[in-house]
Each structure stands twice: as C-alpha cells, then as structure tokens.
Amino acid sequence: MKKILYTGAGSGIARDVIKNIKDKYFIYVGVHTDKQLILQREKYKDEKNIKVIKLDLLSDKDLEVIQKLDIDILISNAAIGHGGSIIEISLDKIREVYEVNIFRNIKLIQIVLENMIKKDSGKIIIMSSLSGLFPPRFMGAYTSTKASLINLSKVLRGELKLLGKNISVSLIEPGMYKTGFNEIMLYEKYEINDTLFKDELDFISKKENIFWSLFQYRNKKSIVKQIVKSLDGDKFIYSAPKWQRFIVKIYSIIND
C-alpha cells in the first residue's frame, strides 16, 4: 500500500479527496495547528489507513518528523493567503504568504525527494491554482505564489527527467470553488481603514459578489476527481472545472 503525505489536509477539498482514497492508500494527514490535530484525530480515529500529524511548514521541528517517513506520494497542498491591493498591502503579509506557499513548500519537497531519489521511486503533486494564470484583483500576494508554483513544477519535472529518476511531478490547478478560502482574502481588504480604494469599496464589493456568485462552484466533485486521477496518472497538469481552464487559455493567448 503506497503512503501519501497530504499537507494542509484539515478541511475543504482535501477532506473529500481523503474520503475517496482512504481504502487504497495509507495517508498521513498533515494539519497546521494542535487544535486541528485533536479534531482530525477524533474524526479519523476508526480509520486504520489514516494517521493525522501536526505539520506546520514554518516549524523546523515538524519538518524533521517528515525526514523519518517513507513517502511514496506527496500532495503539497498547504497554503495561506492575504488579501489587499499590491499598492497598499504590507510587505510583512507578502513575506508571510511567500514563506509558506513557496519557500517552505520547496523545503518540504526537498526533504521528501531526498528519500524518493534514494529509492528511485515517487510522485510529487503540487497544488497550484488557475488564479496563478488568471489573477483576480486584490489577491496578488496569493496568486503570485501560485504562478511561481506553476513554474517551479515545470522546472522540477525537467530536472528529475534529466536525472533519469523514476519520480514524476504533477500540477493541480483548481478553478473557483467555494471553500471559504477565497472569501477570507477578498474581505480582508475591507479591513483597511485608510485605503486608496475607500471611495470605491461599495462598487468593488457588489461587482465581486456578482462575479463570485456566478462562477464559484459549491460542488467540489470535479476537482476531487482530478486529484484522485493524478495519484496514478501520468499527465502533468490536472485542472477543473474544464470550462474555466479553457477561458484561462483564451485569456493567456489574448494577453500574449
């Protein structure tokens, strides 16, 4: 039975993926906080193929635990986001997003790859987003990290091929799904009291509400299906909803 390390797996899409694969794989469910650890251990207490572990990517101590695990598949899903205009958002918030989403995810991938390279077997699955290709306004700190992950995945894939190792890389690009994550970033910008956009906030809010209500999916089945397929699949990119991916391609061509 292959062993999966699934980071950022406390809720949302990850929870539905785990439900679909828990009988076929042994899963290390990585969660961010001690509170999540308690809740998720209670949730999965009767599941013999699931072990919940605390994995805060900013904690060197937590990362040391990963070095001792024999991982066949890494689903690198942990991420944070801060909303706000690039004109006004603090550099501290941008650094925090990049530290978790980029630097610490790279560190985790390096740790897992060390053992995969030794045994000449494994798979790295990196969770990016279609927003990395089609970025909404006021989410630049987050979407720029997702764009970086897209490029890093391509580079990593090429380097592993050059090494001739039996290790594959896949990229997951979810579109707009209603998980609560996007909403937190969108509303965070309204918490800025003295903003250049204060006279436009009502207009921005109404426009965004219409946009997200029209295009954001509540049902996560399509992206869950793609992630499950990626575990044994040989494609590089897995994306859903497909029509959103099509729109992004058109957008990319026009903007080129």
pLDDT in tens, 89-114: 999 999 999 999 999 999 999 999 99
CA 158, chain centre distance (Å): 21
Q: How confident is the model at residue 154 (pLDDT cuts 50, 70, 90)?
A: very high
Q: Is the pLDDT of residue 54 over 60?
A: yes
Residue 213: per-residue pLDDT: 84
What is the pTM for the complete model shown? Answer: 0.93
Q: Which DSSP string corresponds to 53-115?
A: EE--TT-HHHHHHHHTS--SEEEE-------S-TTTS-HHHHHHHHIIIIIIHHHHHHHHHHH
Pair 169, 124: CB distance under 8 Å = yes
Per this entry, what is the length of the chain?
256
Question: Could you tell me the pLDDT band of residue 186, with boundaries at 50, 70 and 90?
Answer: confident
Rounded distance, CA 219 to CA 237, Å?
A: 21
- Which H or E element spans position 82? none
| CB-based contact 177:14 (threshold 8 Å) | no
Q: Could you tell me the residue range of the domain that residue 160 belongs to?
A: 3-255
Contacts of 221 (CB under 8 A, 6+ apart): 16
Number of Cβ within a 10 Å radius of residue 210 = 10
Could you give the CA distance from residue 250 to residue 133 in angstroms, rounded to a whole number? 11
- At 178, the amino acid letter reads K
Domain harbouring 167, CATH code = 3.40.50.720
Question: In the chain, how many domains are there?
Answer: 1
**Separation CA 160–CA 114 (nearest Å):** 12
